[in-house]
Every structure is written in C-alpha cells, then in structure tokens.
Amino acid sequence: MSSTSRVELQRLHLINALFAHVTGQDLYLAEQIKSAITFSLSEFEAQTTEHPEFAAKYDAAFNTAAAELLAKSFAHLPRHGFFHWDASHTLTAATPLFARAELMTGLKKLSPFRESTLLVTNLRPALLPADKRKTPRRKQEYADALEYTRELAAARTAPSANLNLLFL
C-alpha cells in the first residue's frame, strides 16, 4: 500500500469516527464527507503536490476543516453539547496551566448537557513539533498531557453524563 493511499485511508477512518452520528458507520457516506472537505482544500492540495513540504500544513488544514464541519453538525443537535479546544492556537496553550484553564472552560460549557463531545485538536503537534526531535522527554510530556486531559474530563463530568472525548 502506498503512503498516499495509507494517508487517505487514515483520513477516511478519521471522518467515519468523527461523523459516526451522521454516517452510521457507513464508509460510503464518510467518503462523501471526506471528499467535500478535500474539495474545499483543493487549491491547497495542488500546492502540496508541487511542494511536498506543505504536507503537514495540509493535514492541519484538513483537521481544522473537519473540526469546523463537526461543530456545525453538532450545532443542529440542541441536546448535544460540543466544545473544540485547539491546543496549538497559542505557544503556551498545551502547557498544563493553560490547558487546564481552557479545558475547564469547555467542560463548564458542556456541563448542562447529558450528551456532549469534547474535541481536542493539535495536541500532538503542539508538544511534538515536526521540526524538532521527538526526545523521550517530549514524548513523556505528550503522554502526560493525554492522561491529564482524560483524567480532568472524567473528574469534571457528572456521572450521569455521556462525554465523548476525541483527540485529533
């Protein structure tokens, strides 16, 4: 399997997981959503073909477009809460102090809902930048951030609530 088809398959599974409430796990519908997102980024994709170094930026743009579409789809479900936290929107957003503040804001917003989704994007690129070595210390910080996010969400969510925590 070529690396291009592997990446496309990963994107398809990502869309299928994110939009399961829409697709009902139908890969054909997930492919339609993926194609729509890809079409919206077609100019950027053409630039990526000419300049392979843009691939990481294309992946980030794809994830951002998917997160925006997901937010719009949940906006039509009044009984389902949705909060998106982008860990890379500032240089310090992924540090424990700032992450806690932003996650608490999101969890407070989701508290009135019995069903909700907390989408965390760009945590990995924020803590493991592509242009820097993935040292054991950086890998441990990333693992700690994942665990911290899971534990905070579990501790601050009512036992009767159903919170879907998604990392993208």
Mean pLDDT split into 10-residue runs, the chain, 168 residues: 74 80 80 82 72 71 82 82 85 77 93 91 84 89 92 93 89
Q: Do residue 72 and residue 140 come from a single domain? A: no
pLDDT at 2: 67
Cα separation values, 66 from 72, 90, 157, Å: 10, 20, 25
Domain with 122 in it: 78-168
Q: Tell me the C-alpha distance between 131 and 134, whole Å.
A: 9
Q: Do residue 100 and residue 70 come from a single domain? A: no
Identify the domain boundary among 43, 76, 109: 76
CA angle at 66 for the pair 158 and 115, rounded to the nearest 5°: 20
Q: Do residue 104 and residue 122 come from a single domain? A: yes
Cα separation values, 68 from 21, 61, 129, 150, 155, Å: 16, 11, 23, 22, 27
Identify the domain boundary among 76, 103, 130: 76
Q: Do residue 82 and residue 122 come from a single domain? A: yes
Q: Do residue 70 and residue 85 come from a single domain? A: no
Q: Do residue 65 and residue 85 come from a single domain? A: no
Identify the domain boundary among 51, 76, 101: 76
Q: Do residue 139 and residue 155 come from a single domain? A: yes
Closest to 120 measured CA to CA, from 91, 160, 148: 148
Q: How many domains does the chain have?
A: 2
pLDDT at 91: 67
What are the tokens at 168?
């993208």
Q: Do residue 68 and residue 143 come from a single domain? A: no
Q: Do residue 96 and residue 150 come from a single domain? A: yes
pLDDT at 114: 93
Q: Do residue 114 and residue 31 come from a single domain? A: no
